[in-house]
Amino acid sequence: MDDMHGNSPKTLRQDLLKQRKEFAAGQNYGQTKDLLIACLNQFLAEDGNSQQVIALYWPIQDEIDLRPVLITWAHQKAGRRLALPFARADKHLDFYEWQEGDKLIPSQYGVPEPNPNNPSRPAVNPNYILIPCVGWSSSINNGKTQYWRLGYGGGYFDRTLAELRKHNPKLVCIGIGFDWQKLNDAQWAAQTHDEPLDMLLTESGLFR
């Protein structure tokens, strides 16, 4: 039962989005964002060397904008590609190659998406998927910490990850969030259909 604590995921989500809006307008935001970007740059320098496809997101509702960093990364070496998600009618995501300046089309939620019918931008299978978190939590499973993402509630990423992981066990999914977004068990616990994150990136570093 979702409503056990009298605080439904929907209400929690709204509260967190409101907090994020205030945080993004606050004086510490610039510094926190710089720290997170520095952690991402360090990760890319260590792990992002070979020919790879990184799927990013188009930032909406005060999500942190990772585009400049990733565009720079992609330009540094041949074979590196970026991709953006396209939401299908069956609530799964497909990823299509994206380059700066591409014309995008707004989804039903107003999120700019790649055009799936553009012959020069094929569908790709990402090695890494970066996902923004509305909130996040951690749990210990067999002595190992697992990280979980609270998203917007559409279930797109959970469905997509479950499918992609079947075909590519090496896929790495990285949640992008802030330290203050961490939720405790009384606020929210991952459900059985929730897919765990492989890593979580906040201003404090990368948690694997």
CATH classification at residue 130? 3.40.50.10420
**Domain-embedded: residue 73:** yes
**Domain-embedded: residue 37:** no
Burial class, 190, CB count within 10 angstroms (exposed 0-12 / middle 13-18 / buried 19+): buried
At 178, phi and psi to the nearest 5? -115, 155
Residue with tokens 């998406």: 113
Residue 4: the pLDDT is 46
Whether residue 203 is annotated as binding a ligand: the answer is no
Q: pLDDT tens digits for the chain (208 residues)?
A: 344 444 688 899 999 999 999 999 999 999 999 999 999 999 999 886 666 899 999 999 999 999 999 999 999 988 899 999 999 999 999 999 999 999 999 988 888 999 999 989 999 999 999 999 999 999 988 889 999 999 998 889 999 999 999 999 999 999 999 999 999 988 998 888 899 999 999 999 999 8
Strand partners, 199: 174
**Domain-embedded: residue 26:** no
Contact call for residues 110 and 128 (beta carbons, < 8 A)? no
**Domain-embedded: residue 131:** yes
Question: What gap in Å lies between CA 149 and CA 176, rounded to an integer?
Answer: 9
Residue 109: the pLDDT is 81
**Domain-embedded: residue 1:** no
Residue 3: the pLDDT is 41
Residue 42: the pLDDT is 93
Residue 48: the pLDDT is 66
Burial class, 106, CB count within 10 angstroms (exposed 0-12 / middle 13-18 / buried 19+): exposed
Q: How many domains does the chain have?
A: 1
**Domain-embedded: residue 35:** no
Instruction: For residue 109, give its domain range.
Output: 53-207
Residue with tokens 């509630």: 153
**Domain-embedded: residue 46:** no
**Domain-embedded: residue 3:** no
Alpha carbon dihedral 43, 178, 173, 163, in 10-degree steps, equals -170
Q: How far apart are the first and last CA of the chain?
A: 30
